[in-house]
Amino acid sequence: MSEAVSALKGETHTGFATVAEAGLTGMVTIRADLADPALAAALAPLGLAVPALRQVTAAGGRSLGWMSPDELLLVCGYDEAPGLAATLAAALAASHALVVNVSDMRARFTVSGAKACEVMMKLCPLDFATLPAMEMRRTRAAQVAVALWRSGADEISLVCFRSVATYVMGLLEVSSRRGGEIF
């Protein structure tokens, strides 16, 4: 059996901000009625609550982001994603829900440093100056769909499809080159 590898094997570039492919990351998509008590009950053992509109909740090294009115994204350890997906699917078996391990079809990046927002301002139609911590946004980075959130004081996490990971890394690398600062 082949060994799992991330899209870009942890590639990193440092300019006026550091951009990095986060390596193997577990991701589980949960499609369900977010008001269903069964969903809250299924998440409770993980220490996670259903996030409010555009929010991200976190506990135990896992994050749960609001993706749409009926979709959540659980970000976790790569090795634990299959088990979490199976456990959540079983807990939601009596509900109208879909739980899928999407770890191998997505790539995650981090942009970090005091000027991380400047990198993203060049690529996305968002006001990063007003983006609060742990608020999930779905938008575009140049020509591709992404989900992103401020995952730390000077860090933005970004998720895209694995098939466009090289393109996204190129965008991030060029946008973070020294001399390209906005302010």
DSSP H or E segment with residue 14: strand 12-14
What is the tens place of the pLDDT at every residue in 74-118?
Answer: 999 999 999 999 999 999 999 999 999 999 999 999 999 999 999
pLDDT at residue 47, rounded to an integer: 96
pLDDT at residue 2, rounded to an integer: 78
Band of the pLDDT at 17, cuts 50, 70, 90? very high
Cβ–Cβ < 8 Å for 131, 55 = no
Percent share of the chain, pLDDT over 90 = 95
Cβ–Cβ < 8 Å for 72, 159 = no
According to DSSP H, which parts of the chain are helical? 37-43, 81-91, 116-121, 165-175
- Mean pLDDT, range 122-129, rounded to an integer: 94
The C-alpha atoms of residue 67 and residue 146 are separated, in whole angstroms, by 11
Is 63 a residue whose pLDDT tops 70?
A: yes
Band of the pLDDT at 153, cuts 50, 70, 90? confident
Q: Tokens standing for 177?
A: 């080159």
pLDDT at residue 183, rounded to an integer: 78
DSSP H or E segment with residue 59: strand 56-59
- What value, to the nearest 5°, has the Cα angle with vertex 101 and ends 33 and 2? 175
pLDDT at residue 81, rounded to an integer: 98
Is 1 a residue whose pLDDT tops 60?
A: no
pLDDT at residue 39, rounded to an integer: 98
Give residue 77's identity as a one-letter amino acid code.
G
